[in-house]
Chain A
Amino acid sequence: MKRKDRRVPWMIVAACGFVGALVVIGAAAPILAPANPERGALGARLEAPTLAGADGRAHLLGTDHLGRDVLSRVIYGTRVSLTVGFAAVAIGGLIGGTLGLVVGFRGGWIDEVIMTAADAQLAFPFILLAIGIIAVLGPSFPNLILVVGLSGWVTYARVLRSQVLSLRRREFVDAIIGLGGSVPRIIVRHILPNVASTFMVIATLELARAIVLEATLSFLGLGVQPPTPSWGGMIHEGRDYLDSAWWISIFPGAVLMLTSLVVSRTGDWLRDMLDPTLRGG
C-alpha cells in the first residue's frame, strides 16, 4: 500500500529526539548529574531552585528534604523508568506475542484457555494484582520488571491472535501447506512479517503504559526502594512538602508526564501510519 504523504511530521521527529535524549541522559547520568543523587547536604535542605545554594552549589531544580539535588535525582531516575519500561515491553511482547501467534494459528482448546486467562486478567484492576505479587515477592528491581512486564501480555496476545486468525484463512497459507511447507516456517516466514508492524505499534503504546505503571508502583512504595531515585518515588517523597517545596514532586512529575505523552503520541502516530485498522479505541 503506497501512501501519498510519507513525510514524518516534525512532532514525531521531536518525540523520537526526546526519547533518544532520555536514553543518552540515563546512560550518561554519572557524567551529566551535577551532584551525587543519594547524598545530600543537610545544610541545604528544601532549597528552591537556585544558582547559589547554602552549600555554595547551584541547584537548578532545588533540593529535597534531605538536601539532595533534585536535578541529579531526576537524571538518575531516567535510568529506572527506561530500564523497567523497555525490559517490561520485552517480557510482555515475548510472552504475549508468542501466545497470540500460536493460539491464533492453532485455535482449539488452547485458544479458549489462553483467551479466558486474558479475560480473567482484564477482569480486575491489575494494580491490585501487582501490589499483591510485590507484597509476596518483596519490592525489588527484578520483581518490578517482572510484574510490569506481565501486566502487558494480554494486549499483544489478543491483537496478534485476531490478526493471525484472519491471515491463516488466506489462500497463501493453504498454498504453502499444499506445497509441503511446515507450520513453523509459515509462521516465521509469512505470518511474522505481516504482523510486525502491529507488534511495533503495541510495543510503543505499551512502553508508555509500562513507564507510568512503574512510576505508580514506586509512588505507592512498592517499586524501586529509597534511596535509589525514581520519578514515582520522588513524587511520593515530595508530597509531604508540597506546600513548602513543590519542586520535589513537580519536576519529576512533569518529566514523567511529558515522557508518557510523547511516547504514547508516537505510538498513536505509528498506528495511524502502519496499521489504520487498529484505530479507534
Chain B
Amino acid sequence: MHGLGAFLAYRLLRTLIALWLVSSVVFAVMRLSGDPVPLLLPPDAPIAEMARVRHDLGLDRSLAVQYAVFIGNVLHGDFGRSIHFRQPAMDVALSYLPATFELGAAAFLVAVVVAFPVGVLSAVRRNSLFDHAAMGLALIGQSAPTFFLGVLFILVFSLRLDLFPTSGRGDWRHLVLPALTLGAFAMASIARITRSAVLEVQRADFIRTARAKGLGEFVVVAKHMLKNAALPIMTISGLQFGTLLGGAVVTETVFAWPGMGRLAIQSIYNRDYPVVQAAVFIAAVLFIFINLTVDTLYGVLDPRSREFRA
C-alpha cells in the first residue's frame, strides 16, 4: 500500500474531511455572531417585514436544517447573496481574489528570488561576514510582526524617502511595499532552510566524490548540492506560500490593498456572513490545494516519503 496512488487517495480523503470541518466551523461561528436582519432593514421596519426577510434568508428554520442547506449549497459553491453588495457572495469574494493573488504571487516571487541565492551563498561562504549579516537579517525578518513591518516600510520608503505610495492598488510601485511586507517572513524562512539544507548535503559522501574526481566548485554546488537540497527547500517554500494567505489579511489592511483578506475583515464588521464564508472557504481550498500539491511533488520526487503518516 505504499504506491503513489494510495498515498494521494489518503491525502485527498483527509483534505476533504478538513474542508468539511472548516466549513462547519465557519457556519457555527457566523450563526453564533448574532442576527443580521436588523442590519438589513431600516430601524423602524415592522415586525412582519423582519419576519419575512428572516424567512427569505432561511433564518427561521432550525439550526440543523440551516446547516444541511448550507452544506448542500457549499457543494455547489453557493454561499448565498451578500447582504452588503447584494450579489452572490461567491462572485463578490472571487472578484477580490485577483488582487490577493497578485500580491501573494509578487510576495512569493520576491521571497524566493532573494532568499534562494542568499541561502546558498550563506552556506557556501559559511561564517563569512555575508553569512552572519544575512542570517541576522533573516532572524529579524522571521520575528518581526507583519503589520509593524508594513508601518515601518510606509514611514521610511513612502513618507520619508517618497519612493512608493502609502496605500492602494495601481501600477507596480503600489505593489512593492505590500509585497516586501508580506514576503518578509517567507523570505527569511526560505533563506534559513536553504542554508541549512545546503550545509546538510555538503557533508554527504557523493559531494566528496564529486570533488575528488576533479569537478569545478561551481558544478559541485549547482549540480550536486542544489539538486539534493531541493526537497526540503521546496517543502518549506510551499508551506510558506500557504501562510502568505494569512499574512495577506494583515498586509492588505495596512496598505488598504483591495484583496480578499481585507474584504473578509470588512465583511465581518458588516456582518456580511455569506461573503465571510465564501472568502474563508476560498482561502482554505487554496491553502489545502497548495499543501496537497507540495505533498504530491514530494511524493513523486522522493519515494521514501510515500509512507502513510500513521
Contact = CB atoms under 8 A, between A and B. Distances in A.
Given A127-B250, A131-B268, A120 B145 contact: no
Interface stretch (A35-43, A181-189, A255-263): A255-263
Interface in A192-244: 208, 212, 215-216, 219-220, 232, 235, 239, 242-243
Contact of B232 (A212, A216, A235, A280): A280
Given A124-B287, A132-B33, A216 B151 contact: no
Interface size class of A (residues with CB under 8 A): 35 or more
22 contacts: A119-B14, A119-B17, A124-B280, A125-B246, A125-B249, A127-B250, A128-B264, A129-B29, A131-B264, A131-B265, A135-B268, A216-B146, A242-B154, A250-B151, A250-B152, A250-B155, A253-B148, A256-B145, A257-B140, A257-B144, A265-B139, A280-B193
B29 A256 contact: no
B178 to A, nearest CB: 15
Interface string A134-166: 011000000000000000000000000000000
B309 to A, nearest CB: 8
A128 B286 CA distance: 15
Contacts of B269: 135
Nearest to B146: A216
A131 B152 CA distance: 24
A278 interface: no
B147 A219 contact: yes
Interface string B261-273: 1001100110100
Contacts of A18: none
B99 to A, nearest CB: 16
- SS class of chain A's interface: helix, strand, loop or mixed? helix
Given A123-B287, A123-B288, A261 B18 contact: no
B148 A256 contact: yes
A281 B248 CA distance: 22
Interface size class of B (residues with CB under 8 A): 35 or more
A261 B154 contact: no
A215 B264 CA distance: 19
Interface of A: 116-117, 119-120, 123-129, 131-133, 135-136, 208, 212, 215-216, 219-220, 232, 235, 239, 242-243, 246, 249-250, 253, 256-257, 260-261, 264-265, 280-281
Interface of B: 14, 17-19, 21-22, 25-26, 29-30, 32-34, 139-140, 142-148, 151-152, 154-155, 159, 193, 196, 232, 236, 243, 245-250, 253, 261, 264-265, 268-269, 271, 276, 279-280, 283-284, 287-288
A250 B159 CA distance: 14
B292 to A, nearest CB: 11
Contacts, number: 128
Given A136-B29, A136-B33, A243 B159 contact: yes
A119 B139 CA distance: 27
Given A126-B246, A128-B249, A131-B265, A235 B147 contact: yes
Contacts of B29: 129, 132-133, 136
A235 B17 CA distance: 39
A46 to B, nearest CB: 15
B17 A116 contact: yes
A117 B21 contact: yes
Given A120-B21, A125-B245, A264 B155 contact: no
A212 B145 contact: yes
A173 B283 CA distance: 43
A124 B282 CA distance: 9
B22 A132 contact: no
A126 B193 CA distance: 24
A127 B14 contact: no
A264 B250 contact: no
Given A125-B249, A131-B268, A260 B19 contact: no
A225 to B, nearest CB: 15
B34 A261 contact: no
B129 to A, nearest CB: 19
Nearest to B13: A116
A203 B140 CA distance: 20
A239 B151 contact: yes
Given A116-B21, A124-B283, A280-B232, A216 B152 contact: no
A163 to B, nearest CB: 14
Nearest to B271: A135
Contacts of A249: 151, 155
Contacts of B148: 215, 235, 253, 256-257
Residue with the greatest number of chain B CB neighbours at <10 A, chosen from A117, A215, A257: A257
Given A120-B18, A124-B287, A132-B33, A260 B145 contact: yes
Contact of A216 (B18, B250, B261): B250
A242 B147 CA distance: 14
Given A246-B155, A253-B151, A128 B143 contact: no
